[in-house]
Structure 1
Amino acid sequence: MDIKYIGGGVTAPNGFLASGIYCGLKKSNLQKDLALIYSEVPAAAAGMYTKNKVKGAPIYITKEHLTNKKAQAIIINSGNANTCNGDDGLHKAEKMTSLQAKELKLKADDVLVASTGVIGVPLNIDAIKDGIPLLTEKLSKDGSNDASLAIMTTDTFQKQLALEFFIGDKKVTIGSMAKGSGMIEPNMGTMLSFITTDLSISPKLLTDALKSSVTVTYNRVSVDGDTSTNDMILILANGLAENPTITEKDENYDAFLKVLTELNTIMAKNIAKDGEGATKLLECQIIGAKSEEDAVVLGKSVINSSLVKTAMFGSDANWGRILCALGYTKIDFDPEKVDVSFESPAGTINVCEAGSSLPFDEDMAKKVLSENEIIIKVNLFLGDYSAYVWGCDLSYEYVKINGDYRS
């Protein structure tokens, strides 16, 4: 099937508008901190959330509002996570939805809410209340850029994408914006992702597709092994593409799932690439595993290893650290069968065969590992399953950013 990359982010699909403003949650008025996504008609909706036992107040409110599996707007703030604030946090998260619903002439449960930022600080609801009228006024078809800026915290670049594809003779568009930089070990990580589409699909199959896609994309990203409190992925499908509504897992469902997974793969890799202080995107490919689940666990162990991450930062082909990271998992494998190689745009270098060192050119290894995107390929020779996971290196800057995050 043909998939076309286009501009527009979350406002690329028919019937979606967005906006982003500064309302006063962040210290600098040069940084937007309040965003809104709005569908001109009611939409089927689904979400996935952090597995951390400590959850931000917005997650509880959004899950409650999604019990009817539909929504029409999402309000998002950055600069404050509204987490660990007890009943005050829940009240303010609910207040955000009711205030925004009033401006849009919707019911409160048609509005979803998300927050990101510092944990344990009371949310300045007055700043949000004062900002909502302007936020609503600025809704536009060109508002995706402002909205994506407004959800950023320590991100160094915006994360937006939109794709077009066809179901029969109907053009369908899907758009996304996301943020995420540190505290990322999904299932998910300090990570917010919002997806819009004009596809017509039943709420149940929309939920199924989101879960299937997230399992092989966002849930395979890890920046630092910390699972955050506010991670959330939301998707709205408003049906304005006017395709025959997808109600079965047929070829049309499969086409949508393929496009959704491509979208989420690119967005997830961008989040890994933009880890706090990161200089390199790491992709660990585990092949020849006994099961896909084993491959994911092994791959995450490699990209979460501080020793592997620092070796990649220093462009050091210290492959022993990779075997070490594989070895302290609970997954059974034979170390004497393992091959390891490194790949990048600069070339490929094999460093380990059957668990033992191979002679290799250190200068060539340095060249391969000096690129900003590196593949760590591990072959276990145990089975037919594989998985790719994504992470980043660990630099001096990560410590600096997280050492003074609150200030």
Structure 2
Amino acid sequence: MAVPGFSGSGVFAGIRKDGREDLALITAEKPVPVAGVFTQNPLTAAPVQVAKKHILSGRARAIIANSGCANAATGQAGVEAAQSCCQKTAQALGCLEQEVLPCSTGVIGQLLDAEKIGQALPQAIESLSSQGLSRAAGAIMTTDAFPKTARREITIGGRPVVVAGLAKGAGMIRPDMATMLAFILTDAKVEAPTLEAALRKAVGWGFNRISVDGDTSTNDTCLIMAGGRAENPVFTEDDPEFDTFACAVIEVCQDLAAMMVADGEGSGHLIRIRATGAPDQEFARQICYAIGHSLLCKTAFAGCDPNWGRFVSTAALQSQRLGRPFYTDKIHLAIGNEILLEKGVWTGPKAEEKVARVMKQDRYELHLDLGLGEESFWILTSDLDHKYIEINADYRS
């Protein structure tokens, strides 16, 4: 995975216990426009606190990210450790400290050893290459089964433009923002306000539509950097070129988001939950997440069990909690192309047998029509089986 104007590397710094590469470095040739979106969890990790301050300048030269330690709930010492990593990276690259954005992922409550990061930096810098972004994607993994990368090529003003991304995330995934780190890189010539507008659209259509276990991380960070090598005419949010660019960013984020859910800790199925026929989009969103977060529904997905009563009763209860109407005789439920419920009435055992076969597929859709309006929403979720318990019960051991 290469993006003109950017280099990456992944090295072992000794933060992780298993000897895997745990330090990623991504650099631009010079300070470039940057934008970011961060966790909504009020227990904000130290690197997020530092990155949010540094990004205010709208320019960045590097991203320094580690796995194996979240550096969250570590107080002022954690902030100083994150700042130290930025200082050392800036000194090595010859840039300003605020042009370095720190990110961490791993166990909460553990203080990041900035000395280990500093000792590994020379190797990380020496290893930088245009093809090293894939190594960087591997170095930020925690419980991920595979590195996650995505790429699109578009044309803006007659110039070819690359939009690519790398991410980590498999557990502690839910909206606002999805545990995840995601770094989007482009060679487009575009300024920070336009980048932020595109990123916020992409997060809304990608990372904010996924759920694995309903928990929001302390460290969620999504950054986008624009190197400008494409030499396209500069555009703003009001120009037609913005839609082309934003669409590519959205598609990259959606690809990465789908990989996160597919790689959900212990998951075997990726399920798109679509609610239609709602009086407003927010109601449809709430119904989707009620089903996507429900342990009963997620274990039914794991067992390939078309237990439609769980899905419908979850939607009904959520409607009651919201003080919204729910009319059973208006409900339609389908999984794949097979209808399980029509006007609130079960379609029979043969339909259920067909749905059971659909649910054995790696990916499928659950579609619930509420019969109350024209608005809709969709999310991606995963099933939940014994492996999730095993992974998380042993996470710190």
Q: Show CA shifts across 1:24-64 (max 9, x none).
A: 011122x1100011111221111111111101100010010
Tell me, in whole angstroms, the C-alpha distance in 2 between the residues paired with 1:136 and 1:202. Answer: 27
2:5 maps to which residue? 15
Tell me, in whole angstroms, the C-alpha distance in 2 between the residues paired with 1:197 and 1:289. Answer: 37
Q: CA deviation at 1:331?
A: 6.1
1:288 maps to which residue? 277
1:390 maps to which residue? 380
C-alpha contact (below 8 Å) 2:316/2:326 kept by paired residues: no
1:81 maps to which residue? 70
Q: Which residue identity does 2:65 align to in structure 1?
A: I
Q: Which residue identity does 1:382 align to in structure 2?
A: L
Tell me, in whole angstroms, the C-alpha distance in 1 between the residues paired with 2:323 and 2:60. Answer: 42
1:377 maps to which residue? 367
Alignment of 1:125-164 (within 5 A): 125-164=114-153
1:341 maps to which residue? 334
Tell me, in whole angstroms, the C-alpha distance in 2 between the residues paired with 1:221 and 1:399. Answer: 20
| Identity value in percent | 38
Tell me, in whole angstroms, the C-alpha distance in 1 between the residues paired with 2:119 and 2:28. Answer: 22
C-alpha contact (below 8 Å) 1:13/1:172 kept by paired residues: no
Is 2:268 aligned against 1:276? Answer: no
2:89 maps to which residue? 100
Alignment of 1:140-219 (within 5 A): 140-219=129-208
Match of residue 255, structure 1, among 228, 241, 244: 244
Is 2:237 aligned against 1:245? Answer: no
C-alpha contact (below 8 Å) 1:277/1:395 kept by paired residues: yes
2:324 maps to which residue? 332
Tell me, in whole angstroms, the C-alpha distance in 1 between the residues paired with 2:323 and 2:100. Answer: 43
C-alpha contact (below 8 Å) 2:338/2:355 kept by paired residues: yes
Tell me, in whole angstroms, the C-alpha distance in 2 between the residues paired with 1:129 and 1:118. Answer: 20
Q: Which residue identity does 2:228 align to in structure 1?
A: G
Is 2:392 aligned against 1:399? Answer: no
2:21 maps to which residue? 32
Q: CA deviation at 1:202?
A: 2.2
1:45 maps to which residue? 34
* SS in structure 2 of the partner of residue 332 of structure 1: coil
Tell me, in whole angstroms, the C-alpha distance in 2 between the residues paired with 1:374 and 1:262. Answer: 19
Tell me, in whole angstroms, the C-alpha distance in 2 between the residues paired with 1:220 and 1:335. Answer: 26
Tell me, in whole angstroms, the C-alpha distance in 1 between the residues paired with 2:349 and 2:234. Answer: 56
Q: CA deviation at 1:247?
A: 2.4
Q: Which ranges of 4 or more aligned residues in structure 1 deviate by more than 3 Å?
A: none
C-alpha contact (below 8 Å) 1:217/1:268 kept by paired residues: yes
Tell me, in whole angstroms, the C-alpha distance in 1 between the residues paired with 2:286 and 2:58. Answer: 32
* SS in structure 2 of the partner of residue 118 of structure 1: coil
C-alpha contact (below 8 Å) 1:65/1:110 kept by paired residues: yes
Q: Show CA shifts across 1:366-391 (max 9, x none).
A: 21111111210111122222111011
* SS in structure 2 of the partner of residue 83 of structure 1: coil
C-alpha contact (below 8 Å) 1:83/1:229 kept by paired residues: yes
Tell me the matched-pair count.
392
Is 2:210 aligned against 1:226? Answer: no
C-alpha contact (below 8 Å) 1:323/1:335 kept by paired residues: no
